[in-house]
Amino acid sequence: MAYEVWAPEARRVEVRIGGGADSGDGGSGGGNGTDHPMRPVPGRDGWWRSADGLPREHGTRYAFRLDGGPLRPDPRSRRQPDGPDGPSAVVDHSAFPWTDAGWTGRPLAGAVLYELHVGTFTPEGTFDAAAGRLDHLVRLGVTHVELMPVCSFPGVHGWGYDGVSPWAVHEPYGGPDGLKRFVDAAHAAGLAVVLDVVHNHLGPSGNHLPAFGPYFTDTHHTPWGSAVNLDAPGSDEVRAYLIGSALSWLRDHHLDGLRLDAVHALADTRAVHFLEELSAAVDALSASLGRPLVLIAESDRNDPRTTAAREAGGLGLHAQWNDDFHHALHTALTGESRGYYADFARAPMAALARTLTGVWFHDGCFSSFRGRAHGRPVDRRTTPAHRFLGYAQTHDQVGNRAVGDRLSASLPPGLLAAGAALVLTSPFTPMLFMGEEWGAGTPWQFFTDHTDPELAEAVRRGRRREFAAHGWSEENVPDPQDPATRDRSCLDWSEPGRAPHAGLLEWHRTLLALRRALPELTDPDLTAVSVDFDEAARWITVRRGEVHTVVNLSGTPVGIPLHGHGGGDAGGGGTVELLAAFADSGADVPPPSPGGPLRLPPRSAAVLRRRPVLR
């Protein structure tokens, strides 16, 4: 077998087989391995290839040397057993004993996602430990696990967004075989697995790509520095590199989809956008494998073309996160009004109604946070609601707060239950952030494990300065490099068995069971959603067919009419059945009297169904 690498600017390339420690003399490594010359590949500009017959057994260590320089890992490394700066290791994907031959995947329509960080989902922080908790997710009623990034990055613990080996799996989590065991176990439990991947930047430490070629360009600049090269000279190979990585995750690790981080930061001026090319490649692989594969974008553009079909001039992604819904719900629940919450906080119930029926709040209107008009309307008649993910909490919205406080740190159980009702019965594809389902008392904070002392200190200082500018005391901002910051962020698995967490967990299970049982709750028709609200009294009702979700966010009891959606009792006569209810302090929620309002206690939620009169 031969080794190949793209290094268009190199004059001499060698591959070292075995060992990996650099002898420093630019020659053979002796006991540290043996260097072998590579030759340019005819007809493939910039590509180098070794002679055939070199060892390539599973686990073989190797590294490349360019122009007599230091040894560097393979840009397409499938495994970095000693971390991002060490030698690569050959991975024979066919050697893994998969048991999911009968897995046919799960579609996005009707799905419920669960965002999970492997390093803090359990104290052990490994794929195998996470797999041991999959039964909890099955009982909860989710369908897709969305893993935060697992690419190789320096150190042991981190969020994963500073990954530097886009084809390799973080070794402390369990490496490539650990990920495969997790996916295999998830499929056996009936759960699909989506992986968060980062194409818009690489981490600042351990990134060897610039030594190999023009993977980055100064044509564009991003918050992370030079942009990934998607449209400058050499970008054909860079795009192929990223698309190849995406397909490898789906094909070789049997993943069911990818969540694409911050696609608005992908600077690309070419006629065929990188995301369009990626979506075409993933759709082709899906057809070949005979199972659904999904691409879910994180985008702040509020542009429906992100998920529109390629044939209609869109990018062809299958779904995207909906931060506007989050912001509206967050302000309605908490009353926060700083930063990007300001526009939503002026009339939070109206903002929530606007997003529930029209997807985005900013759909071409002025954004005070941005100082300009923002967004584009969604065509409610032709766009299915399941293309948009709705959520009350995510890793971003929790972890990027100064102290990583969840909603449970400031809200009583009744308001947490009300937020859950609005998310899990919304027209969108719902997503939960790990531990949200029981109102986890643990924070989820920003933590790093940079091995470069200067970088570690720079991140520490920058984090404190950032929050000091927003009014937080620097002393209250956790040190990202302190191991205790990560430890505090691990879920406490004793919580679900005790009050008030057990009640919230049962409420989430009840709502998800209703979502499975009632066709109205997975109906993708946005035009079939109607909302009533009272801004001053702080109640809102959402009607989807014959199903009503009613919440009281105020601290006083309210009577909520159920005839605002088309006339008559609950919109057309008949009786109204109380399907589920949750209130602070265990207060009872009485069923509505015929023709009368629903009496809701303070901070409570209810789901009802109208049964029409049979004639």
Active site residues: 261, 298
End-to-end CA distance of the chain: 77
Residue type, 344: F
Q: Nearest-CA neighbor of 217 among 228, 207, 225?
A: 228
Residue type, 109: A
Residue type, 467: F
Q: Nearest-CA neighbor of 346 among 359, 364, 365?
A: 365
Spell out the SS3 assignment of 302-367: CCHHHCCCHHHCCCCCCEEECHHHHHHHHHHHHCCCCHHHHHHHCCHHHHHHHHHHHCCCCCCCEE
DSSP states of 6-75: E-TT-S-EEEEES-----SSSS--GGG-EEEEEEEPTTSTTEEEEPTT----TT-EEEEEETT--EE--T
Residue 226's H or E segment, with its range, is strand 225-228
CA–chain centroid gap for 226, Å, is: 24
Q: In angstroms, what CA-CA distances link 384 with 306, 318, 405, 552?
A: 13, 10, 33, 28
The span from the CA of 102 to the CA of 93, in Å, is 18
Q: Nearest-CA neighbor of 186 among 125, 140, 255?
A: 255
| Residues in Cβ contact with 101 at an 8 Å cutoff, skipping those fewer than 6 apart | none
CB 431 within 8 A of CB 391: yes
DSSP states of 99-162: --TT-----STT--EEEE-HHHHSSS-SHHHHHTTHHHHHHHT--EEEEPP-EE-SSS-S-STT
The span from the CA of 57 to the CA of 428, in Å, is 47
Q: Nearest-CA neighbor of 361 among 322, 315, 400?
A: 322
For helices 235-252 and 274-289, give the axis angle rounded to 10 degrees: 30
Residue 467's H or E segment, with its range, is helix 453-468
The span from the CA of 317 to the CA of 442, in Å, is 34
> Are β-strands 113-116 and 429-433 bridged in parallel, bridged antiparallel, or unpaired?
parallel
> Where in 345-453 does DSSP place strands (E)?
366-367, 372-373, 388-390, 429-433
The CB density around residue 314, as the number of other CB atoms within 10 Å, is 18
Phi-psi region of 412 (alpha: psi -120 to 50; beta: other; left: phi over 0): beta
Residues paired with 114 in a beta bridge: 145, 432
The span from the CA of 505 to the CA of 498, in Å, is 10
CB 511 within 8 A of CB 420: yes
CA–chain centroid gap for 272, Å, is: 25
